């Protein structure tokens, strides 16, 4: 990314490694572990690739609970504005204990939780999952009125397809 200082990279070659490459941050440095047999060109290519991966992983941390609330506020304004306070959650947060669902909502207390599995998905998919749960604050069940609300989001069908694809690839059927 422009303006971001390139970190100090320490490359460690390992005879035991055949193909796997890994990287982790160690203070100010980034340690990249590569197979001993890699050429200089491969080393350089993989260092760049692993730095990009690490940056992407760290960027995901920016998707905090606070950011989720900002996102919810924007979605409510765009798609659920006529429902006023009813569409506003008491809390919305990322959770790691929800592997069978992308998101969940408790209309009784107005709380919404999104699975960390969604955290590294594209913005438009996160928007769908969040809008889906926000709509449950208004309509708890998956009836026609519910889908009419969620269908206001132009990428609903696309996002549902994306999520189905991810679930199928992981071999885990997921409920929404
Ligand atoms: Zn639902």
Render pLDDT for 38-75 as a digit per residue (tens, 0 to 9).
999 999 989 988 888 887 777 655 678 888 998 999 99
Q: How long a stretch of residues is the chain? A: 176
pLDDT bucket at 2, cuts 50 / 70 / 90: very low
pLDDT at 176 over 70: no
CA of 153 to the centre of ligand 1 (A): 15
Handedness of CA 88, 93, 94, 98 (dihedral sign): negative
pLDDT at 18 over 80: no
| Portion of the chain with pLDDT greater than 70, in percent | 91
CA of 81 to the centre of ligand 1 (A): 19
Show Cβ contacts of residue 59 under 8 Å, excluding neighbours closer than 6 positions: none
pLDDT at 37 over 50: yes
CA of 73 to the centre of ligand 1 (A): 19
Give the sheet arrangement for strand 103-106, strand by strand.
91-95, 111-115, 103-106
pLDDT at position 54, please? 82
């Amino acid at each position: 990314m422009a303006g971001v200082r390139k970190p100090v990279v320490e490359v460690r070659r390992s005879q035991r490694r055949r193909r796997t490459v890994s990287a982790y941050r160690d203070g100010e440095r980034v340690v990249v572990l590569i197979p001993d047999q890699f050429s200089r060109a491969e080393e350089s290519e993989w260092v760049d690739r692993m730095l990009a991966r690490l940056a992407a992983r760290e960027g995901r941390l920016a998707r905090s609970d606070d950011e989720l609330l900002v996102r919810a506020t924007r979605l409510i304004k765009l798609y659920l504005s006529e429902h006023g306070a009813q569409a506003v959650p008491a809390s919305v947060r990322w959770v790691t204990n929800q592997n069978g669902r992308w998101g969940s909502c408790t209309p009784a207390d107005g709380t919404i939780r999104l699975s960390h599995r969604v955290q590294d998905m594209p913005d438009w998919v996160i928007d769908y999952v969040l809008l889906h749960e926000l709509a449950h604050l208004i309509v708890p069940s998956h009836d026609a009125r519910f889908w009419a609300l969620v269908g206001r989001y132009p990428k609903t069908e696309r996002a549902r397809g994306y999520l189905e694809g991810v679930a199928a690839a992981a071999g885990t059927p997921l409920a929404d």
